[in-house]
Structure 1
């Protein structure tokens, strides 16, 4: 998870830093790519790489959704860190003995140090690790999922959706940019604001964007039309955490997601689509935010609510027609780890 908060406040293990009163995200990632031509020294190769995630992190969640939708489970293994971590690193405390069974490490930090000794930035998820060397290849989360769609196409399952259609990429770019700056990052801008003024500005920006999305989705089933794309994956990871965490913990409380009829129906449509809701763990999500962010929640008390049963109720979005998977089919492989 990449969270960065102020000059005086150091959240470097989470990727958070704050400049003055305003939250600023550190976007200096390891930009090495895994490609068909292996230009950066890491060619696409089945079984060679391990995707390390945590179920709590929205940035990592995107990679688990895309991996599942495209059917890459057989060629890219997954390591899952626990919902909390200490000041040093994400840890594999969900695995037997607290050790990742493939990488043989207790802390993701060890894989970063294999790549760059004493790596100076945040130890973030998702990270793709080269199993033979044990070193992180990349933690550039926006590029990871795009490369899953484009560079790994020869390994996609039969019936996999086209999440990054070439004909829509120009139109998708500003939509995804606005989702990132105003929504994905916007909730953090509210939560880690260092002054009333910066919080108020962040709050207004966030809800202007959510109102824009409410309007856009009132006339079409998904963000780019009648099939899911990378844009929907990126938005869903924030929406599914909104009522459980961001509404209260990050003070994004003009209204709940469940009080925005269009976005709530849209989010339920995605949640009920294989690859989305089956990769969500609400208990781990709440545990992370309310325990790790001691500055925001010193008591570390985890809320019992909200009731999540509404996520499986009828959404009515089928009336727009279309198919979430376009001409393809839903993934049927059981969800791993």
Structure 2
């Protein structure tokens, strides 16, 4: 295999399984990460995402399957390459900087003596040239994170691994650092795998998102596709507010308590499903609560205000609930009767009814 061909997929996991006793932390996981790509593994605590990261780093050994980096097998088939020989950089949640070393010394750690140009280049990349002589305790949280990134990137790893990289930062700094980390990794051209439980973080920073559940990769794809057309109820429910509105398939579309949703607005619905009971996925921006003209078809049971908008949870007459997002100038109170209507500009996903 040529070097060019091997570099098309820098990281490959094939059927990787890791067990602890009788329990599988990761089960038959297969994924490829392309050269220069930023992939985020997303899921709740205990889903296996951090174990997957540790398997790539060499901190855990798979019971089955194979891990390949830059075309070379580093785990599987009786072969295990030590972490220090895998050409992988790892940024921990706590950053793990050496407190007695300066910024410059931290970045230089792991490089051959005399590679001052590389250190200078890394400090410039992360914007810390003027802080090179400071110790970590003299830096802000965001600056410490950039030092950790520079130190991991300095040896020019094939793969950079980020373990919940923003969890120790306050909310405002977290948003700014997402943009910084993406910029830094893209300018460095490094293939990056991050793990997080934060949906907004994963959707905003990644080229692709992989959603994990109970050790399995439920879906992987572009953030927009994973969010708009989730392949399972778990993915739909985990990514933002998900309302599942019941309906019956007809020759015109799906008849629901909120009116008929035409076939053009239902993803992949064909005539063979006519008569079937289904649930359609409705996001808050798909639904609008209106002041009723006569009797309403729902009642506001909860509202959340986040500054730019309100999100209302509306209980429909049949007992189902739906979320509606409104501009902050449009306000209802809990207990208000409303009329809910769908405002669709894209096809909705659907699932077989669970009732």
Quickly name the TM-score band, shorter chain normalised. Answer: under 0.3
Q: Which has the higher helix share?
A: 1
TM-score by length of 1: 0.27
Q: Greater relative contact order: 1 or 2 (C-alpha under 8 angstroms, separation 6 or more)?
A: 1
Structure (1 or 2) with the greater strand fraction: 2
Q: TM-score, normalised by structure 2?
A: 0.26
Q: Which structure has the greater CA radius of gyration?
A: 2
